[in-house]
Amino acid sequence: MEERINLSVQTWDVFNQYLNSESPRKYYQSKLSKVINSVAYFVLLIFLMGVLSNLGELHIPTLMTVLLFWFLTFILSLTTRKRLYKTYEPAQEGPFCGIHNFEFNEEGVKTSCEGHYAFNSWNIFKRVVNSHGLIMIFLDNAKALIIPIDQLENPDELLEYISKRI
């Protein structure tokens, strides 16, 4: 069974969305919780500044400096994740993006693309997942062969073929 697949940056984005949705909560912190934490720290900061003001020891330029520092830190924390995400995005001319050939046989899966060839026997695959419009054949927790369902003629047949061998 052979499949010819065109992978793009959008495919990579969908795969990473799946990985993020599967991440344990202790390792994954959503943007909402970052915002809630920042707002809580801001309220605490205002409260402490109010207490210091009542004690007569508040210096307005210091207050403005602390508030400016907090605001800049908050903005930086919101933009850091997006910049980090873009850092790991595959290049259009790199090996991820482009046409990939998958050949499924009794021994395993042969994959090839421009300048790259690999063979993976069935016994090294951990699991197969059909989610987010992708068939993902995992070699490890975050490494997988990715096949967009919309590029397959018969995705159910391929999924059944893979499932029998893993």
What's the sign of the alpha-carbon dihedral 40, 43, 49, 53? Answer: negative
* pLDDT tens per residue, range 136-163: 999 988 889 999 999 998 899 999 999 9
Among the listed residues 3, 1, 12, the one whose alpha carbon sits nearest the alpha carbon of residue 95: 12
Of the residues 87, 106, 130, which one is the last residue of a structural domain?
A: 87
Of the residues 66, 87, 108, which one is the last residue of a structural domain?
A: 87
Together in a domain, 96 and 156: yes
Q: How many domains does the chain have?
A: 2
Q: Is the pLDDT of residue 30 over 70?
A: no
Together in a domain, 103 and 82: no
Together in a domain, 37 and 100: no
Task: State percent of the chain over pLDDT 70.
Answer: 87
pTM attached to this predicted model: 0.66
Together in a domain, 119 and 67: no
Together in a domain, 125 and 143: yes
Together in a domain, 65 and 109: no
What's the mean per-residue pLDDT of the chain?
83
Q: Residue 82: how many CA atoms within 13 Å on its side-chain side?
A: 6
What's the sign of the alpha-carbon dihedral 121, 88, 112, 105? Answer: positive
What integer pLDDT is reported at residue 137 of this predicted model?
A: 94
Together in a domain, 13 and 29: no
* pLDDT tens per residue, range 58-80: 677 777 787 888 788 878 877 77
Domain of 118, CATH number, reads 2.30.29
